[in-house]
Structure 1
Amino acid sequence: MPADRFQLLTDTAIDVLAAGGMRGLTHRAVDRRAALPEGTTSAYFRTRKALIEAVVRRIAELDRADLRAGQLPDRAGGDAPALTDVESTAASIAAVLDQWMDEGRNRTLARYACLLEATHHPEIRTILSYGDDSRAQSAAMLAAAGARDPRRAGDHLVACIDGLLFDRLAGAGARTAPHPGTEANRADLTAAVSTLLRGFIAAP
């Protein structure tokens, strides 16, 4: 499949998911939103399962690109990322989170929809396991900073950061936090992530 057609269909499917949830994701819905002739999406992705798997791969690809752009760990292996400046690291994480709440909001909502779908389809969970790499790198980063149980702390750090993101999109934080895409939001996120980092480094 041509890369541009794959991107068009999967990016459109991400928007469909964000707008209507997993129930709203159909080949026809993607065709309509992309203003393509009916049957175009099904010609490339013969089944709904194939479409969902393609969407998950696209989400993973875009997430990894954002993490690399923000100079954050997105894969296991290599040298442990340094944590020499907690505030700087927290600000980098906050910038990515803010992006995923703002211009990347649809993708983040689609990711959560896919995660819920993965509870019924383990093969999707396998594709989404790229998040395991972030946990491994977080553990390495915290180990280098002197955390006593870095693997456990790395798991908890990623879970807390993901919870922070979810709260800002779907929880009470969506009503009370600063507006995404603003300096105030990035500053607020930086403060929260900094507190997490310091807490996990100092945890017994």
Structure 2
Amino acid sequence: MSSVTPERAVSDDLTPRRREILEAATSVLARAGLRGLTHRAVDREAGLAEGSTSAYFRSSDSLRGALADFVARQLAGDVRELSDQLTAGGPDSGRVVSATARLFDSWLEDPDLLRARLELTVAATRDEELASRFLVWRGDLVAAVDRVLAARRTEPPGVAPAPSAETLVAALDGVLVAALLKHPERRQGFVRESVDQLLSPLDEAR
């Protein structure tokens, strides 16, 4: 059965059955990759009669597209919450590091969602329509980081400019991938240390 946690479910117009299918599809994709994402595999994962997934998503493309939207909406909700936290509290480096690390920890606690996102991201490099489904949540994350950087853009003479928000988001993305390769017990410490190394030095430019 699907291991996607109920508390991560997004508020949208999905029917309970569609949500059940997409949660199962997330688990299948995370475990077996895009080659293993078949209607039959999703039916088995969800414990549904054969043909159930096909009744809602007739083709492989429609299933993959709906799954990309489902994953992206969950990530976008998390990013909006992070953005609200950072905007409300001011550009304190320690608070930014803690809030970002907590978000990453929550994603790593639900590795199926993160692995599914990575699988879809790789596929999106070859599929423009799929790529467009991830633009919003990633753009929101870049915007949140950019607001933090905005308070640090008065570098004194001789101090190198802070990296762009896009560059930092790319680096943070790499931290998530590296964390997945580590033993679960080491992930939280690695994430905290890595996020601290990436974000804390921004104070030096102030």
Normalised by the length of structure 1, the TM-score is 0.81
C-alpha distance 106-61 of structure 1, shift in aligned 2 (>3 A): same
Moved more, 130-139 or 117-126: 130-139
Query: Which residue matches 1:134?
Result: 141
Query: Which residue matches 2:168?
Result: 157
Query: Which residue matches 2:8?
Result: none
Q: Given that residues 146 and 201 in structure 1 are in contact (C-alpha distance below 8 angstroms), is that contact kept between their aligned partners in structure 2?
A: no
C-alpha distance 98-192 of structure 1, shift in aligned 2 (>3 A): same
Instruction: Give the residue type in structure 2 aligned to 1:192.
Output: S
Shift of 1:6: 1.8
Task: Find the aligned partners of 1:121 and 1:203 in 2 and give their Cα distance.
Answer: 39
Query: Which residue matches 1:109?
Result: 115
Shift of 1:147: 6.1
Query: Which residue matches 2:199?
Result: 197
Task: Find the aligned partners of 1:134 and 1:195 in 2 and give their Cα distance.
Answer: 19
Shift of 1:159: 0.9
Q: Given that residues 93 and 199 in structure 2 are in contact (C-alpha distance below 8 angstroms), is that contact kept between their aligned partners in structure 1?
A: yes
Task: Find the aligned partners of 2:24 and 2:115 in 1 and give their Cα distance.
Answer: 13
Instruction: Give the residue type in structure 2 aligned to 1:90.
Output: V
C-alpha distance 10-26 of structure 1, shift in aligned 2 (>3 A): same
Shift of 1:81: 6.2
Shift of 1:33: 0.8
Task: Find the aligned partners of 1:147 and 1:47 in 2 and give their Cα distance.
Answer: 52
Instruction: Give the residue type in structure 1 aligned to 2:83.
Output: P
Unpaired runs of 5+ residues, structure 1, are none
Percentage of pairs with the same residue? 31
Where does 1:7-156 land on structure 2 (aligned, <5 Å)?
A: 7-68=19-80, 71-73=81-83, 83-102=90-109, 104-130=110-136, 131-146=138-153, 153-156=164-167
The answer as to 2:173 corresponding to 1:166 is no
Aligned residues: 187
Instruction: Give the residue type in structure 1 aligned to 2:199.
Output: L
Task: Find the aligned partners of 1:196 and 1:20 in 2 and give their Cα distance.
Answer: 32
Task: Find the aligned partners of 1:132 and 1:179 in 2 and give their Cα distance.
Answer: 29
Please give the root-mean-square deviation of Cα atoms over the aligned residues, in Å.
2.5
Shift of 1:203: 5.7
